[in-house]
Structure 1
Amino acid sequence: MTGFTALMPLWALLGAVAAYLAPAPFVAMDGLIVPLLGLVMLGMGMTLTARDFTAVLRRPEVVGLGIGLQYLVMPLAGWAIGLALGLPPALLAGLVLVGASPGGTASNVVCYLARGDVALSITLTTGSTLIAILATPFLTWLYVGERVPVPVEGMLWSIARIVLVPVAVGVMINSLLGAYLGPLKRVFPAVSVAAIVLIIAIIVGLNQANVATLVWAAALAVVLHNALGLAAGYWVARRLGWDERTARTLAIEVGMQNSGLAVALAVKHFSAAAALPGALFSVWHNLSGSLLAGHWARRPPPESGSRNCETREDPDQT
């Protein structure tokens, strides 16, 4: 299963090519986007316990910095890059929506491979996901509301249904039955990868007629967006005196988004074209995150400095 999940960018690329060449079967599955993402979020919830939520309160400074960078840098960067590249309104809205989404679940695995602080990564993903119910609709409206109608209330309820409810159910299942679900938990990462790959293929199928004209501009925007997030997370943390492990963790958390959520919200509240940046981001951030993790894995972080936080690493969560 580990080998399958590690090759996620390859499966996503193959799925996208298949959808471009034969879009009809994937277009027929457009109603599956939201349920598939709900399945991914359920799997995320099944890796969490109540302790992961209370961890936010034990590490307020670094958690506040990470979530602050997540919701300050990424939406602004998406908006600025979209304007600089002259993206059409649908792609601009989709790029901002990616930036306004919470941290992605794959970031926890990438953080582990990069020798970052896994406990902090889980805490940041959890915290940004909870805040997303308000932050994502508001920030999307703030940056693109003048160009594209943004249904803030509808997005809020969509996030509640797509993210919070499945995560809460997953946490409940893990709390009550976690000791008996070891084999299922090991399978869920592969299920999540398959679900995200299928979501990407559906979006490519829906955009097949426009891919030739839209994909290159959207791809460039996504690469720049992801790079800015990774750089901001790392260098802001280092400039503020945090240790190497913490800086690596913040880089990964800020740069890797829950692009599946952005895709689901774009399809439901905007258009299929608005979902294209999220689909491309899903492929690219896993590739760039894996490459960065490989680079850092060969360079063990030095002993922590004065601002390092006390951490825990739970083997069950890595």
Structure 2
Amino acid sequence: MRANCSRSPACSANASREESPVGPEVHGNLELVFTVVSAVMMGLLMFSLGCSVEFRKLWLHIRRPWGIAVGLLCQFGLMPLIAYLLAISFSLKPAQAIAVLIMGCCPGGTISNIFTFWVDGDMDLSITMTTCSTVAALGMMPLCLYLYTLSWNLEQTLTIPYQNIGIALVCLTIPVAFGIYVNYRWPKQSKIILKIGAILGGVLLLVVAVAGMVLAKGFWNSDMTLLTISFIFPLIGHVAGFLLALLTHQSWQRCRTISLETGAQNIQMCVTMLQLSFPAKQLVQMLSFPLAYGLFQLLDGFLIVAAYKMYKWRSKNEHRKKNTGREEGCHNKKSPSPNETGAFLEMNEEGAITPGPSVLTDLHTTREPTGHVSSCT
């Protein structure tokens, strides 16, 4: 695939000779930061998150891959389409449009896994989706790029980072496999590792955000249109993924998971592909988009987590008030055991339960001997 940007000032032939000489140095620093931080994050973080995965539930997702199918449709159906529409709507320059499209065609990143854990999402589905989208990227990335660039008259060769995809798969599957094994053999210790991993994941995300802002302080003077796209792109991805999951009748837990998986992209893979496909002079302009996208997707993730925690806290307070009122009006009513309460919450999270004979029997037992229903329900 070739990119014809002869009429664009972003081309190396038309670029200004007064370009800043610090471009290659910043480019090298960014490469080092993304490589080191990503390796540490994917190793330690995925091992700790793997401690929350149960092999039985993981196998269930593989046997009935409805959630995975919806996630892949969001990842390689919605995100490339959104990227293409944004590039056309904002009339981006050829180099900038290609950067946006490449970001939309990338698979999901590991950042979505830690955010999914914080919003009580389906960790088994989240990790499975991340793995499957990375595997599918071997074929879906070149296919999506080919389809959406047919009308762009491309001359620049776009190199798919197959080696980077393979490394990402290894760094993802091996730590998760160890985490699953630890959860199977030592379930109590795995909970401690999971809590430490959640804290470590938050610290690593903050380090990535701060390092990105420090190293990219010169990029914030770039085109405001590109920054605007990098801000709204992950938001649109989160909303579109949630709506598609909701339309396909997924549970609320899966809707949250698919939403976070859709908006969070693999930033390092996008950066690597840009490095392999374009000269250093163009990279100074093109790298500003994936870097800004990464920072904004972190910000969006923290906002989603904060909103969920606030909603959960308010729901608990309202539930506590209702229970207090019921206890005052029904002193003689037996409160449900912790096991019954936990079972009800688990069933309510997975979806609606069809009333069966046992449920109907329970309904009959709640009636008074006189035939009137008790008010303490």
| TM-score by shorter chain over 0.5 | yes
1:151 lines up with 2:158 in the alignment: yes
1:111 lines up with 2:124 in the alignment: no
Identify the range of structure 1 (177-186 vs 40-49) with the bigger mean alpha-carbon deviation.
Answer: 177-186
User: Residue 35 of structure 1 corresponds to which residue in structure 2?
Assistant: 35
Contact 1:50 1:171 in 2 (8 A): no
Structure 2 gap segments, 5+ residues each = 1-19, 316-344, 354-377
Please state whether the residue corresponding to 1:299 is helix, strand or coil.
helix
Contact 1:53 1:127 in 2 (8 A): no
Cα-to-partner distance string for 1:63-101 (whole Å, 9 max, x where unaligned): 111111111000110111011101112221111121111
Contact 1:114 1:248 in 2 (8 A): yes
Contact 1:264 1:275 in 2 (8 A): no
Cα-to-partner distance string for 1:2-50 (whole Å, 9 max, x where unaligned): xxxxxxxxxxxxxxxxxx9x97864452552563234433345434479
- For residues 167-246 of structure 1, the aligned pairs below 5 Å read 167-171=172-176, 182=193, 189=201, 190-191=203-204, 194=207, 198=211, 202=215, 204=216, 208=218, 211-214=220-223, 216-246=224-254
Contact 2:34 2:268 in 1 (8 A): no
When normalised by structure 2's length, the TM-score is 0.62
Cα-to-partner distance string for 1:259-313 (whole Å, 9 max, x where unaligned): 2321232223235233222111111111112212222233349934349xxxxxx
User: Residue 6 of structure 1 corresponds to which residue in structure 2?
Assistant: none
Q: Distance in 1 between matches of 2:209 and 2:274?
A: 15
- For residues 27-176 of structure 1, the aligned pairs below 5 Å read 27-32=27-32, 35-36=35-36, 37-46=38-47, 47-48=49-50, 51=55, 54=59, 56-144=61-149, 146-147=153-154, 149-152=156-159, 154-161=160-167, 163-171=168-176
Q: Distance in 2 between matches of 1:58 and 1:245?
A: 19
Contact 1:44 1:167 in 2 (8 A): no
In terms of fraction of residues, the more helix-rich structure is 1
Q: Distance in 2 between matches of 1:285 and 1:24?
A: 26
User: Residue 252 of structure 1 corresponds to which residue in structure 2?
Assistant: 260
Matched letter for residue 147 of structure 1: L
User: Residue 276 of structure 2 corresponds to which residue in structure 1?
Assistant: 268
How far apart are residue 168 of structure 1 and its match? 4.4
Contact 1:39 1:192 in 2 (8 A): no
Contact 1:104 1:257 in 2 (8 A): yes
When normalised by structure 1's length, the TM-score is 0.72
**Distance verdict in 2 for CA 1:157–1:141, change over 3 Å:** farther
CA RMSD of aligned residues (A): 3.7
Q: Distance in 1 between matches of 2:252 and 2:158?
A: 40
**Distance verdict in 2 for CA 1:150–1:194, change over 3 Å:** farther
User: Residue 296 of structure 1 corresponds to which residue in structure 2?
Assistant: 308
Identity of aligned residues (%): 20
**Distance verdict in 2 for CA 1:132–1:175, change over 3 Å:** same
Structure 1 gap segments, 5+ residues each = 1-19, 308-318
Q: Distance in 2 between matches of 1:292 and 1:188?
A: 19
Greater gyration radius = 2
